[in-house]
Each structure stands twice: as C-alpha cells, then as structure tokens.
Amino acid sequence: MKARAAVAVEAGKPLEIVDVDLEGPRAGEVLVEVKATGICHTDAFTLSG
C-alpha cells in the first residue's frame, strides 16, 4: 500500500514529504485513515537541532 509521510532527515531542516510502501493490515488489524495530526513539543525541539 502506498502512503505519504513527513520524514525528518536532518535536524534544522524542514520535514520531507516522501512516498512510502506499507504492508496492508493483517488478520485482527484494521486500517485507519488519519485526517490530521500534530507534533509534540519534544519532537519539535529535537528537530530544531
């Protein structure tokens, strides 16, 4: 399954939007569509370098 992801490749640089290949859900799992998300303060601080 194809998906897009915002990836931190280096501190102090903008996130890169990349296409990724993911396995589909397995038995007993579900697929959830994420409509919005955020970033926590700790992650933002770490990304800032």
Dump pLDDT digits (tens) for 8-27.
999 999 999 999 999 999 99
For the chain, helix, strand, coil in percent to 5 are 15, 25, 60
Dump pLDDT digits (tens) for 23-39.
999 999 999 999 998 88
Range of the domain at 26: 2-48
Q: Into how many domains does the chain fold?
A: 1
DSSP 8-class letter at 23 = P
**Secondary structure class of 48 (helix, strand, coil):** helix
Question: Measured between alpha carbons, how far is residue 48 from residues 1, 3, 15, 20, 25 in Å?
Answer: 31, 25, 11, 24, 34
